[in-house]
Structure 1
Amino acid sequence: MYILLILAVTLERLAELVVAKRNSDWSRQHGGTEFGAGHYPVMVTLHSGLLAGCLIEVLALRRPYRPALGRPMLAAVLAAQGLRWWCIASLGRQWNTRVIVVPGASRVVKGPYRLLPHSNYVAVAVEGAALPLIHTAWLTALSFSLANAVLLRVRITVENGALEELT
């Protein structure tokens, strides 16, 4: 079942990339400027590594499923997915996996963004820790979380600079 869950999350990520590509194309057609493109390949590698690590650690190290840990972690993953798609819906065409600012766009302050400026990254952090822990893949959870913290420091700095461009 865990392998099917990782497959489902992978398919969800591919759906995100379809939405991101559509929004990226729209943003560029409307004069959008990308910020921080240099860290994007690192982000893609890290997120791909999370999914691969979940499978590799569980299969290679024969991590057991422990319901007392797995069930709450699954609930956390599902909550993170809900938050992620609430962020995507709230940002509309401004949501992207890249940082692109369209001239004349205004800063979104609805949905989860009325409470927390970088709400999507809460979803990313929760999912990155919880998804591996569903099946006790603690090495993957720890390594992703540490690497993600470093990446988010860069990403949020880039986004905050880009957001200053918005009216």
Structure 2
Amino acid sequence: MLWYLTLVLLVGLERLAELRIARRNARWSLERGGVVAGQGHYPWMVALHTGLLAGAPLEVALADRPFLPALGWPMLALVVAAQALRWWCITALGPRWNTQVIVVPGLPLVTRGPYRFGWLRHPNYVAVVVEGAALPLVHTAWVTALAFTVLNAVLMVVRIRCENTALAMAAGRAAA
């Protein structure tokens, strides 16, 4: 259990690093006329992600969930792959990446990194979905994985609509 708690704490530290980058990037965007959208759903997103990081180890401890190697090791590989995808997205978007929806009008869409594949408009959210299911399942916290997945699906519908609308408005066209 201690190694699993360490893994979750490392993911939590990674989230804190993301928030530092997001704060810096928000300043960059706002200095260039960036427009913030979707503030209503943002606190729910923060609560959901905090719940994931707290809920998974709590479930493991309270429900005495075992580590099952046949499930745990592949899920750990997916957690690592999700982190790699997330940081590829952060790197590709550069100062335009953020945890909030902030769009600088007039800037073209990013078409490098994972964004060069036109069939996947939101690869960062793929990382969120994979990690949200895989991190709890590393140590069979299936209730947390299920709850996060369902709640995140609802939130992603709102978030992606918000982001698509904001990007379309910044480009001067109707939302897709």
Fold conserved between structures, TM > 0.5: yes
Q: Does 1:47 align with 2:71?
A: no
CA RMSD in angstroms comes to 0.8
Report the Cα offset of residue 128 of structure 1.
Answer: 0.2
Aligned mates of 1:120, 1:131 — CA distance in 2: 16
Distance 1:38 1:25 in 2: 20
How many Å apart are 1:165 and its aligned residue?
2.8
Alpha-carbon shift at residue 166 of structure 1 (Å): 3.8
Code of the aligned partner of 1:55: P
Q: Residue by residue, what CA displacement relative to the aligned partner does 1:118-150 show, whole Å, maximum 9, x if unpaired? A: 000000000000000000000000000000000
**Residue 138 of structure 2: aligned partner:** 134
Quote the offset at 1:22 in angstroms: 0.3
- Whichever residue aligns with residue 116 of structure 2, its letter is R
| Number of equivalenced pairs | 167
Gaps of 5+ in 1: none
Percentage of matched positions with identical amino acids: 62
CA offset digits 1:1-44 (Å, max 9, x no partner): 00100010000000000000000111111111101111000000
Query: Which consecutive residues of structure 2, in runs of 5 or more, have no partner in the other structure?
Result: 172-176
- Verify: 1:84 aligned to 2:99, yes or no: no
After TM superposition, the runs of 4+ consecutive aligned structure 1 residues lying more than 6 A away are: none
Corresponding residue of 1:148? 152
Report the alpha carbon displacement of residue 106 of structure 1 after superposing the two structures with TM.
Answer: 1.2
What secondary structure sits across from 1:100 in the alignment?
strand
Letter in 2 for 1:62: D
1:17-73 alpha-carbon deviations (Å, 9 max, x no partner): 000000011111111110111100000000000000111100111100011100000
2:125 aligns with 121
The Cα shift of 1:163 comes to 1.1
CA distance in 2, matches of 1:165, 1:95: 18
